């Protein structure tokens, strides 16, 4: 077995993996070196076509499901055996980087191809997946494809979600699928033997500790809220301040109160207002409406619940002179990964002589939904300065390949 594990790792082709990152980054390339490839956009459709073309060339079959997850499959020896699955997402933030998401898909494909080129037969099929809309910036919330797959949210609800232009997920998905080759349809939530996702860390720990591989033990919980503040539009030159219902002034004061209430002396809590939209957004009109987002995270479910209740209460208490509406749009409890998978990843990194450490994930990932269905885990590799969700995101080719080698061994071990 150990000889075959070595073969799987040795067949990982660092140059091919790097070149695929470069090619993928052309779809949605930004002038600043980053990527804007939001879910179900024409750029996302092009990235999906590229993945299908690489998979098809390598002799693997592709398929999709009702939420537009994209699967690449290498058959196993045993008919009907549940597959071992690996992957991540191809969509990006509006001002995203070249590695968040894409790496997990390309590392999965590289591992699959390495196992195939080393001619290692497995009992179980191995599959690679590109989950639909992980980022959630165009269609909120994120991790939509894996949520639908795991039954965390009903398909019909997700298909009905609209972006800010009013386009529904269902229509954007139909356009995306129509822009690619015809694919076999399969059901949501088919049985899985295990799920392992590779990702850049998106934080500073691995780089600071000088480790090549992060063995992910858990994902902290996240809650998202959509807040709307409703006032009245009026003339900026003529309307006295005291008679205004200025939605922006109310929103700014609400955000200030929220920030004070979310203060955490241990600096563990994460509180972000990342979107803030003013309408009509004109210099000489009193703002009529402000819409803003809240992203709240904590590893402890009780603290997270308590803070989330405080957020909702503060928003509801804020009434005069504007009305405030608050809607919770995402509730992701913290997730603990399977100890068997954690140990398998740890052992694989050690066998390859790669410095490694256990750590929790601050970002959420599709793996959190999969952990409800089957034993699941994640492999992290470092990224420069821990920077992610930024065009400055960067990772080293040798680290990308190291993570793919670990993944190749782990997938083979789980499927053999």
Binding site for ligand GLV (CB under 6 A): 135, 142, 363-364
**Taking the complex as a whole, how short is the minimal distance between the CB of residue 61 and ligand GLV, in angstroms?**
29
Q: Which does 375 bind (CB under 5 to 8 A by kind): ligand GLV, Mn ion, none?
A: none
Cα distance between residue 3 and residue 244, in whole Å:
75
- Residue with smaller CB distance to ligand GLV, 329 or 363: 363
How many CB atoms lie under 10 A from the CB of residue 115?
A: 26
DSSP string, 36-73: ---TTSHHHHHHHHHHHHHHHHTT-EEEE-TT--EEEE
- Measured from each CB, the residue nearest to ligand GLV is 363
Q: Which does 97 bind (CB under 5 to 8 A by kind): Mn ion, ligand GLV, none?
A: none
Q: How far is the CB of 364 from ligand GLV (least distance, A)?
A: 4
Give the range of 58-66, 99-107, 242-250, 319-327 binding Mn ion by CB under 5 A: 99-107
Q: For residue 404, which of 197, 142, 187 has the smallest C-alpha distance?
A: 197
Residue nearest to Mn ion (CB): 101
Comparison of 231 and 391: residue with beta carbon closer to Mn ion: 391
Instruction: Work out how close the CB of 188 gets to ligand GLV at its nearest, in angstroms, rounded to a whole number.
Output: 21
The answer for residues whose C-beta is within 8 angstroms of residue 342's C-beta and 6 or more apart is: 215, 216, 217, 358, 377
Q: What is the DSSP string of 127-145?
A: EEEEES-SS-SSSSSS-HH
Considering the complex, state which of residue 213 and residue 324 has its C-beta at the smaller distance from Mn ion.
213
CB atoms within 10 A of CB 128: 29
Q: Coil, strand, or helix at residue 12?
A: coil
Among 25-33, 97-105, 321-329, 401-409, the segment contacting Mn ion (CB under 5 A):
97-105
Q: In whole angstroms, how close is the CB of 316 to ligand GLV at the nearest point?
A: 25
Judge contact between 131 and 367, C-beta under 8 A. Answer: no
- Supply the DSSP symbol for 283: T
Q: Is 44 one of the binding residues for Mn ion (CB under 5 A)? A: no
Q: What would the x/- binding string for Mn ion be over residues 100 to 119, using CB under 5 A? A: xx------------------
95 vs 183 by CB, closer to Mn ion:
95
Least distance from C-beta 363 to ligand GLV, angstroms? 3
Rounded to whole angstroms, the Cα distance separating 345 from 129 reads 19
Residue placing its CB nearer to ligand GLV in the complex, 350 or 363: 363
Nearer to ligand GLV, 7 or 137 (CB): 137
Task: Say how far apart CA 80 and CA 85 lie, in whole Å.
Answer: 15
Question: Which residue is listed with tokens 């080293």?
Answer: 396
- Least distance to Mn ion, CB of residue 219, Å: 11
Q: Which segment (98-106, 109-117, 156-164, 348-356) binds Mn ion by CB under 5 A? A: 98-106
- Between 101 and 403, whose beta carbon lies closer to Mn ion? 101
Whether cis (ω within 30° of 0) applies to the bond prior to 321 is yes
Residue recorded with tokens 């070595």: 6
Contact positions toward Mn ion, by CB under 5 A?
Answer: 100-101
């Amino acid at each position: 077995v150990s000889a075959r594990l070595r073969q799987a790792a040795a067949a990982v082709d660092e140059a091919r993996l790097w070149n695929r990152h470069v090619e993928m980054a052309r779809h949605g390339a930004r002038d600043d070196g980053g990527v804007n490839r939001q879910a179900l956009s024409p750029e996302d459709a092009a990235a999906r076509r590229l993945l299908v073309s690489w998979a098809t060339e390598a002799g693997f079959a592709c398929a999709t499901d009702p939420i537009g997850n994209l699967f690449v499959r290498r058959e196993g020896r045993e008919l009907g055996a549940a597959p071992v699955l690996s992957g991540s997402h191809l969509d990006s933030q509006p001002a995203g980087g070249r590695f968040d998401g894409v790496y997990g898909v390309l590392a999965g494909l590289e591992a699959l191809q390495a196992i195939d080129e080393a001619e290692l037969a497995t009992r179980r099929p191995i599959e690679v997946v590109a989950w639909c809309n992980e980022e959630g910036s165009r269609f909120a919330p994120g991790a939509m494809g894996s949520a639908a797959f795991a039954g965390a949210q009903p398909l019909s609800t997700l298909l009905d979600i609209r972006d800010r232009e009013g386009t529904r997920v269902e229509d954007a998905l139909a356009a995306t699928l129509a822009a690619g080759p015809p694919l076999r349809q399969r059901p949501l939530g088919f049985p899985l033997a295990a799920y392992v996702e590779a990702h850049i860390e998106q934080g500073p720990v691995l780089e600071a500790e000088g480790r090549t591989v992060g063995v992910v033990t858990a994902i902290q919980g996240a809650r998202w809220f959509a807040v709307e503040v409703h006032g009245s539009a009026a003339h900026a030159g003529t309307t006295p301040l005291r008679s205004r219902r200025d939605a922006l002034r109310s929103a700014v004061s609400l955000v200030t109160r929220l920030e004070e209430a979310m203060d955490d002396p241990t600096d563990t809590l994460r509180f972000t207002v990342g979107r803030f939209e003013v309408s009509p957004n004109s210099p000489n009109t009193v703002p009529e409406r402000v819409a803003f987002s809240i992203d709240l995270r904590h590893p402890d479910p009780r603290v997270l619940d308590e803070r989330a209740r405080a957020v909702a209460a503060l928003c509801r208490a804020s009434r005069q002179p504007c009305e405030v509406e608050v809607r919770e749009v995402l509730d992701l409890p913290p997730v603990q990964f399977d100890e068997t998978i954690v140990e398998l990843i740890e052992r694989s990194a050690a066998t390859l002589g790669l410095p490694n450490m256990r750590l929790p994930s601050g970002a959420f990932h599709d793996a959190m939904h999969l952990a409800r269905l089957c034993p699941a885990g994640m492999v992290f590799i470092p990224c420069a300065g821990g920077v992610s969700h930024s065009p400055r995101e960067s990772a080293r080719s040798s680290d990308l390949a190291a993570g793919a080698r670990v993944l190749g061994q782990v997938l083979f071990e789980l499927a053999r």
